[in-house]
Amino acid sequence: MPALLRQLAGLGGCTHPIRLDGHRTEYTVDTRTGEIGNVLHHLVSSSLPAGHLLVRCNNRRITRCAACAEVYRRDTFHLITSGLRGGKGVPERVAAHPRVFATFTPPGFGPVHNRPTGPAGSVRRCRCGALHDQDDPALGTPLDPDTYDYEAAVLWNAHAGPLWRRFSIYLRREVAKRAGLTQRAFREYARVSFAKVAEYQKRGAVHFHAVIRLDGPEGGDTPPPAWATAELLTDAIRAAATAARVDGPVVDGRAHTFAFGRQLDVRTIRSADFDGGQELTERAVAAYIAKYATKGAETATGALDRPLRFLAELAQLDISDHARRLIRTAWTLGARKDLEHLRLRAWAHMLGFRGHFSTKSRRYSTTLGALRDARAEWRRAQALEAAETDPDTTLVLAHWVYAGTGLTDAEAWLAETLEPAPGTEGEPTHG
């Protein structure tokens, strides 16, 4: 029992670990002759308390694995933060580069129940005449489901990713134009870096939040040119977002074209963390992005966080009629041969969106993989220190095969008795 508890504790709270069958052997190596010597350490999965080697699932979604989603959220926070104020291999001077936080909204698909805010944060009546409560499930659902444009809403989600790519190309062009440079010359002077996250609005449409930064030619390592200001960047973002368009399919004689909605919010990010909440701070931005990086369509649909296999499953799900209708529309459109490339059935549970939740340009900052590697490296170093072995004089041979996922009922029960894994400090838990 204590051995099993120790193995479960190593999962740091992961509730859907990957189970592996296999073995791992560490040998000493003679550094002069290169010959393999004694076995230092031998591990066989069948001799482990759980009968398998258990590895964290690393799922990003809170609804799937709270512990792994929390690790992902923290990593995302650090990734965004390092791109804003340096650290993790990014120089601190990036804090002086022009940076903005921008929100790109979808167009309208029909009136929905909302909570319009008036002056000084007062709440006004919805078009339906009601004064909706903040967590009224009606919020975001159509006033008239029969006239709501479900087809365009689902196709919007399917084209939001390509539209963002189009926007980012236009943005470089618009910045270059304002600097009086050709696009080719632009690359020798400056670079546009970004990190973005996709989020579902209550009505089930994807929108994007992005940190956009102007750097010198080598990215964050080089200072931006003197003309690069947050004002120029903001102006260029507005122009690029207005111009960006992606042609969608023609469905039953109706040609779809996708563009961002008119509501575009662009705000300059300031360095100060302590300005009484007047300015948009680095910390607030990073916390906000990290928070949404762990959420999927379930924030809009309620519960559905995995692909549907049959449409009949939809009837059993405890989701809103609006979510059901979006999913059904994606499923129906997914049957069309000409829309095959959108894979709408595989992504029906995501309401048609098949993009990545958080993406960044190469030079924005470090990567999630690098953060994960650093963590694994640290654990390995700790283990070696404990065993007093030298990585240069040991050889590791390992072979693992997938044996399943999850914990047995008994393991899950035991895991619940464990204290939550100690967290890392120095970051807000919500934004």
For Zn ion, the binding residues (CB under 5 A) are 14, 57, 65, 68, 113, 126, 128, 130
Q: How far is the CB of 69 from Zn ion (least distance, A)?
A: 8
Q: How far is the CB of 68 from Zn ion (least distance, A)?
A: 3
Alpha-carbon gap, residue 56 to 37, rounded angstroms: 32
Nearer to Zn ion, 65 or 237 (CB): 65
Nearer to Zn ion, 139 or 181 (CB): 139
Q: Alpha helix locations (H) across 253-365?
A: 282-293, 298-301, 313-316, 321-333
Nearer to Zn ion, 142 or 161 (CB): 142
Give the closest residue to 85 by CA, choosing from 269, 358, 294, 237: 269
Nearer to Zn ion, 68 or 176 (CB): 68
Q: How far is the CB of 422 from Zn ion (least distance, A)?
A: 17
Alpha-carbon gap, residue 330 to 121, rounded angstroms: 37
Name beta bridge partners: 216. 219
Contact 349, 327 (CB under 8 A): yes
Which one-letter DSSP state was computed for residue 363?
A: T
Q: How far is the CB of 113 from Zn ion (least distance, A)?
A: 3
Name beta bridge partners: 193. 213
**Total Cβ atoms within 10 A of residue 171:** 22
Nearer to Zn ion, 68 or 351 (CB): 68
Q: How far is the CB of 99 from Zn ion (least distance, A)?
A: 33
Nearer to Zn ion, 58 or 359 (CB): 58
Which one-letter DSSP state was computed for residue 250?
A: E
Give percent helix, percent strand, percent coil of the chain, each to the nearest 5. 40, 20, 40
Long-range contacts of 143-149 (CB under 8 A, 24+ apart): 143/110, 143/111, 143/112, 143/113, 144/110, 144/111, 145/321, 145/322, 145/325, 147/110, 148/109, 148/110, 148/112, 148/325, 149/109, 149/110
Q: How far is the CB of 129 from Zn ion (least distance, A)?
A: 7
- Determine the 3-state secondary structure of 70 from DSSP: helix
**Which parts of 229-352 are beta strand (E)?**
246-251, 254-258, 264-268
Nearer to Zn ion, 115 or 178 (CB): 115
- Determine the 3-state secondary structure of 85 from DSSP: helix
Q: How far is the CB of 59 from Zn ion (least distance, A)?
A: 5
Q: How far is the CB of 358 from Zn ion (least distance, A)?
A: 18
> Locate tokens 């390092």: which residue?
82
Nearer to Zn ion, 72 or 104 (CB): 72
Q: How far is the CB of 133 from Zn ion (least distance, A)?
A: 11
Nearer to Zn ion, 128 or 272 (CB): 128
Rg (CA), the chain: 25
Alpha-carbon gap, residue 21 to 43, rounded angstroms: 11
Q: How far is the CB of 355 from Zn ion (least distance, A)?
A: 23
Alpha-carbon gap, residue 102 to 123, rounded angstroms: 24
Q: How far is the CB of 236 from Zn ion (least distance, A)?
A: 37
Cβ-proximal residues to 377 (8 Å cutoff; 6+ apart), any chain = none
Nearer to Zn ion, 58 or 229 (CB): 58
Nearer to Zn ion, 113 or 166 (CB): 113
